[in-house]
Structure 1
Amino acid sequence: MMAPVFSHGDLRLYLLNLLDEGPRHGYDIMQALSDRTGGTYTPSAGTVYPRLAKLEEEGLVSKTVDGRKTVYAITEAGRAEVEARSGELEDIEDGLADSVRLIADEVRGSVREAMKSLRADLASATRQERADAPREEPGDDPRVRSREQLHRADAAVNDFRVRVRSDLRTFVSQGGQLADTMVDELVGDLDRIARDVTRALRG
């Protein structure tokens, strides 16, 4: 997974942009950076606070103490710089959007691969059961074989569930945003699989 890398100038400008949206305390700034990069970039306090101090020194940011928190706010000079460098800011935003899109594509691809594997396992189990039926020996019990195949199908379904839940939970825990379309696609595919299985069992 490719993480976005802020150059010194890019991070400086992006910090100003975050504060242009409204005052924030230090932890909130670090969380916002992590959220907007899909969790691929989690800055340390040692990275963010010195840059905020430099921006304050340059008169682009002001700070006030609110209880135990230090709140940073952009100044008029800071707003002027954000406005003057809006083109650069758009390039930075495009780069971050590309990074988050890559993460979403990886999750979507992982879900699709898991569903392909599940379909293949279920189809294989069905084919094997049908192939074994004509060769039934007098001493064989088809119910035993069916139970064995049922266990195999259960294992495939459970493996699918574990893999997809793990991918989705990791994505969200890293700050990724699950799009409605992605979840709708997943629900639709699962519904189609269920119908395929039902048709195969009735066929």
Structure 2
Amino acid sequence: MTRTEFLHQFHHLRLTRREPDYPLKAEARPAAVLIPLLDYGDKLHVLLTERAHHLRHHPGQISFPGGAVEESDETVVEAAMREANEEIGLPRQNVEVIGLLPSYRTVSRYKVAPVIGFVDPNFQPQLDANEVESAFEVPLAHLLDRRNHLVHTTHRDKRPFPIYFIPWQDKMIWGVTAAILRNLSHHIHP
């Protein structure tokens, strides 16, 4: 999929299917992540991070750059850009934001706003070792292909709740990251 094909599909107005998020009974804390699309001309890749192994919450989990919205952030886009800069050294001017996906609520009581942006593929990540163990790329086509998505159903509050997994080489993308990618897949390939 090229940048032009992606933009055509992304900006095409239509209602798309969304994966169920976690039904919260209390107010969620706002958060934002950046889905960094690296444009190689004839194909797009997504830059993902592996969280540092010493972290208390979700050590080693695959994620997008991002985190909680701070009081200093005027918008969720600013929060995603700030977090991407802190975690992988991505300057704001190196990101062309093209839009957002609907927010996704998590069991840890966050309402995550996924921000999508194009990033120059020559960008060299500068990882914050306190937060990020590694960064790697995955072809967008692999992530959007629902034949690569695995679904495990668990129960929360006596109701079935799906957990998504997307294997890539020796990595397993799962949880919120996989659910957001699945929502992007529904948006691009309804």
TM-score (norm 1): 0.19
Larger radius of gyration: 1
TM-score by length of 2: 0.20
